[in-house]
Chain A
Amino acid sequence: MSGSNSVPVTEQGMKIVGFLCNWCSYGGADTAGVCRFKQPTDLRIIRIPCTGRMDPLFAAKSLIYGADGVLVSGCHPRDCHYAVGNLYARRRLEVLKHFLPFMGIDPRRFHYTWVSASEGQLWQRVVTDFSEQIHQLGPNPGIGAESEIFEKLGN
């Protein structure tokens, strides 16, 4: 968040972007809420219909532009509302997970998992563990917005 907030990031908590499938994990997060399972406040959830919708580039973009963590969660394999969306997603996200560190992005900032709508407790654990991990890693150093040459030209 820029503009309206001027408190340093660390005091504001971390910026974790969650991509949750509508049918299982978003429901799981709801269940955790209904059960009042306490969770850290760093996660911001984006609802997607299915992890099959999850272009790995959404995660890449988030991390490149400064998200401290990205968490993707969908239905357990074979439980996909759309039968196979998460099975495609599993391969794509796994490839991304292996690829990120090569480009210098800490793979621990990216996590994907499967949580069903009934697994409120599991969701609580997933969020808590991942948020803790991100807090340990600290703010994402990021890529840096502008190139040096561009800055030289006084823009």
Chain B
Amino acid sequence: MFENATKQLRETVEAALPELNTVVGWRAGYDPLHMTPVFIKNAGDLSKLEWSPFCVQNLSGYLVKDPAVRAQDPSKKIGICVKGCDSRSLVALIQEKFIERNQIHVFGIPCRGTVDWRRVMKLGPLTGIQSARVEESRLVVEDANGGHTFALEDVLARKCLRCAHPNPVIHDVLIGEPVTPRVAVENSYGEVERMEEQSLEDRLGFWKKELDKCLRCYACRNACPLCVCQDRCIAETREPRWLTQRVGTSEKFLFHFIHALHLAGRCTECGECERACPMEIPVTLIKEKLNKITLELMSYEAGMDPEAVPPLLTFNPGETGL
């Protein structure tokens, strides 16, 4: 079912390509379960472009992170393919003036969910994967031992199972029909709520165990489209020196506090931090909690309105609820 979508994406991009300098999209990766970002510069590259539930990466970061994708020809725009969640990162970046809306051309793709390859492998076992495709609500993988079928619900990424915004919030062109959201935002924090029901000690134990695995490889940070400090991140600097090189749980806690609090009121829950983590630490959950807080305290949802001011960069003198 995604052959058609890919075809439509290629055609749409092709039509817009003369006006664009580069289009950031996805192409096949090293095996059928993996896609990798691709930067389409001319029509000859179009055949690489793909769309499928394996297109997991949020590409918006490439527009702002050094060396950022920029139009060499100022009269042209940068094209970018986004899923619903990805588009919210774009909105946040526009809001913070890292991107100008009129300098990008957004190919929006309504999305029914992306596949978490680790969940597939866990259900496996799979060896020598030859093909993988999503058919309706099933994932079909062929490997050396033949075909395997998985229920899509069992292999979707965690963030997709609680997706409230499957349709791009901003787009210049929409590829495919809008999708009905799985849940409303208010109801998308089930996992956070389950954590909240635990005792303080259990939560501490949970995070100590999880965060202790952190390698501080900074994949979560670098994969985050809104972690705009990049090489200047205070997790690594000595001026100022927030963290040491100690491999201690406290250090890891503080690193994730820094990461999360810098995203408070900004995170769009694209889940890239969690997906990038080689140790499978549920780091997006931390930001989900912060988003739940800003939603409850300030009725703010990040990445929805390009004109809005992130809640921690402003104040309301009269607010007494706080």
Contact = CB atoms under 8 A, between A and B. Distances in A.
Interface of A: 56-57, 60-61, 64-65, 77-78, 84, 87-88, 90-92, 94-96, 98-99, 101-106, 141-150
Contacts, number: 113
Contact of A103 (B207, B246, B265): B207
Contacts of B252: 147
A80 B294 CA distance: 24
23 contacts: A60-B257, A60-B261, A61-B242, A64-B250, A64-B254, A78-B317, A87-B317, A88-B314, A88-B315, A91-B297, A91-B315, A91-B322, A95-B264, A95-B293, A98-B293, A98-B297, A103-B253, A103-B257, A104-B201, A104-B202, A104-B205, A142-B250, A150-B247
Q: Which 6 A-B pairs have the closest CB atoms?
A: A104-B204, A87-B315, A104-B203, A102-B289, A98-B293, A94-B322
Nearest to B288: A102
Nearest to B316: A87
Contact of A57 (B258, B286, B316): B258
Contacts of B286: 102-103
A99 B293 contact: yes
Nearest to B289: A102
A26 to B, nearest CB: 22
Given A102-B192, A144-B208, A92 B200 contact: no
A42 to B, nearest CB: 21
A112 to B, nearest CB: 10
B121 interface: no
Contact of B212 (A102, A104, A147): A147
B250 A99 contact: no
Contacts of B294: 95
A150 B203 contact: no
Quick one: which of B252, B319, B322 has the most chain A CB within 10 A? B322
A96 B108 CA distance: 35
Contact of A146 (B249, B258, B261): B249
Interface residues of B, number: 44
B311 interface: yes
A103 B315 contact: no
Nearest to A101: B200
Contacts of A60: 254, 257, 261
Contacts of B196: 102
A60 B259 CA distance: 12
B179 interface: no
A90 B315 contact: yes
B208 A143 contact: yes
A65 B289 CA distance: 22
Contact of A144 (B250, B260, B261): B250
A145 B249 contact: yes
B204 to A, nearest CB: 3
B312 interface: yes
